[in-house]
Structures are given as C-alpha cells and as structure tokens.
Amino acid sequence: MECGPVGNDVELLCKTLQFEHKLFYFDLKENPRGRYLKISEKTSATRSTIIVPVDGIVWFINLVDYYINTDEHEAFSKELKIDSKVFYFDVGENKRGRFLKVSEASVSRNRSTIIIPAGSSGEEGWIAFRKILLEINEEASRLYIVSNQQSVEPSEHHPRLSDDVGAGFISGHVSQPASSSYLNIDRLIELPLHDEMGRLGLSKVIRVDQKRFFFDLGNNNRGHFLRISE
DNA sequence: ACGGCTC
C-alpha cells in the first residue's frame, strides 16, 4: 500500500489503480472541515489532482456508470456541482483511444484535470476506476459510522449499521442515531415531491443543461437501490 | 510507452 505524503490531514484509506501507463492514487482524507477524496493521476512526466468532497463520491460513481453504459456517440458532457466546486465530465477520443476527462473548477485554484483512458477492449479502464470508487464508498460508509458513533468498538455495539448506511446520504448534522433516520427512508422514498426530500437531505440533484436529475437512496427487503429520476 | 486537457 502506497500512501501519499501526510500533512495535517488524516489518511483514512489509500488505493491505487494502474492502467496503461498511468497510476491513479485514491486517498480518502479527513481534516476538521470534513472528509474528501483526493484522486491523483500520475504519469512519468505529470501529476494532476482533483479533490472530491465525500458526498461527491457517489455521484462520481454514477457518472462513470453513465459513461460506461452510454453508447459511444450519445454520451453528453455533464457537470456536477458539489459545495463550491464544479466538476466537468467529458468524453473525448484521439488516436490513442477514448478517454473520460474530469476537470475540477473551484474558486481559488487553477483548473485541474484527470484523464481516464477507456481502454482498448471495451471500457475496462472506466470499469476499474468505478470499482475503486465503489470500494472506497463502501469503506467510507463504515468509517463514517465509526466516527459518528464515537464508539471504540462499533462492530460489537452496532453490528448492523455498517452494512445499512451509504456515505453521503446522511447529512452531517443528523443528531439522531443513523439507524432511526435511515428507517424513515422507506416511507419518504415513495413521496413524489422532490423538494420535500431535498429539504430532508435525502435527495441529491445534478443539473445538466435544462434538466435536473434526482438521486435518491432507498432500500427494501430485496436490498439497496439508487433511484434516478429526471 | 504512450496521450488526451476552453469553462
């Protein structure tokens, strides 16, 4: 396991993905302002980094999904607004092949960009990238519960929680135990009013051009699901 | 071993 240099921020977990001649570093970090995922693309000559707030990880997963599942010439550019940042997703193609470009624009920094190759046989680069994000999202949700409960032994005292709660869907200022707020989702998810869910912090919205896409987490006895509505 | 990159 290779972790980047550690400053004041705490490293929670590190992963790497090597694809073609690029090396991607994924570092989940924490500081007093919150948690974020640092994604760096390293080649022999260059290194570029984007910083994704934890709440953005699930939307990254979803957007990578979109590009994996969308036909080559029907994939639109997308933008994702999180906090004060905007991430731009674009597909491109050149003689080396297809790639997904993810750019971060924030007020204070210069724009930074990572480029994820699709790969030569299908989209295995994007699929591998998504897999890492899924792993991080799952592990981050466990870490979230651990720190939120401030319990030294969460696996003994809260054995069910870690599998039931996804990161990013529980707002940071929930004062109730995560389990009780979570149990309400089944009823709330049936409500057709998106603004009602938005008010309760249970829905996320991505605006693309004139459209708005709503992402809502739910579960039932069949398992977990993410509902996307336009 | 590449190499892509308006916001």
Among all chains, which residue has been given the structure tokens 């970090």? A29
Q: Do the beta carbons of residue A39 and residue A136 sit within 8 Å? A: no
d(CA A15, CA A13): 7
* CATH code at position A49: 3.30.2450.30
The total number of residues written for chain A in this structure: 230
Distance in Å from B2's C1' to A39's CA comes to 21
A150 located within any domain? no
Q: Give yes or no: residues A33 and A119 share one domain.
A: yes
A168 located within any domain? no
Comparing C-alpha atoms, which of A3, A107, A102 is closest to residue A59? A102
Q: Do the beta carbons of residue A15 and residue A136 sit within 8 Å? A: yes
A41 located within any domain? yes
d(CA A192, CA A206): 17
> Average model confidence (pLDDT) for chain A?
76
Q: Indicate the SS3 state at residue A99.
A: strand
* Shortest CA to C1' contact from A92: nucleotide: B4
d(CA A84, CA A183): 31
Distance in Å from B1's C1' to A43's CA comes to 11
To the nearest 10 degrees (0 to 180), the angle between helices A124-149 and A54-69 is 160
Task: Determine the structural domain holding residue A193 and report its residue range.
Answer: 184-230
A156 located within any domain? no
Distance in Å from B5's C1' to A141's CA comes to 33
Among all chains, which residue has been given the structure tokens 């994007």? A126
| Per-residue pLDDT, A178 | 38
Q: Which of A140, A162, A192 is the last residue of a domain?
A: A140
A142 Cβ neighbours under 8 A, 6+ residues apart:
A162
Rounded to an integer, the average pLDDT of A138-148 is: 78
A25 located within any domain? yes
* Structure confidence by residue, pLDDT tens digits, A156-180: 443 343 333 334 333 334 333 433 3
Q: Which nucleotides of B are covered by protein (CB under 7 A)?
A: 1-7
* Structure confidence by residue, pLDDT tens digits, A90-132: 999 999 999 999 999 988 778 999 999 999 988 999 999 999 9
A155 located within any domain? no
Q: Give yes or no: residues A63 and A126 share one domain.
A: yes
Q: Give yes or no: residues A191 and A111 share one domain.
A: no
Q: Give yes or no: residues A91 and A203 share one domain.
A: no
Distance in Å from B4's C1' to A222's CA comes to 42
Residue type at position A49: T
Distance in Å from B4's C1' to A115's CA comes to 7
User: Does position A45 have pLDDT exceeding 90, yes or no?
Assistant: no
Q: Give yes or no: residues A124 and A191 share one domain.
A: no
d(CA A210, CA A18): 37
A154 located within any domain? no
Q: Which of A140, A156, A173 is the last residue of a domain?
A: A140
* Shortest CA to C1' contact from A110: nucleotide: B7
Beta-carbon neighbour count of residue A116 at 10 Å? 26
Q: Give yes or no: residues A69 and A14 share one domain.
A: yes
Q: Give yes or no: residues A126 and A230 share one domain.
A: no
Q: With bands split at pLDDT 50, 70 and 90, how would you rate the model's confidence at A143?
A: confident
Distance in Å from B6's C1' to A21's CA comes to 26
A56 located within any domain? yes
Q: Show which residues sit with Cβ under 7 A of nucleic chain B.
A: A 20-22, 43-46, 48, 77, 88, 90, 92-94, 96-99, 101, 103, 105, 111, 113, 115, 117-118
- Domain total of chain A: 2
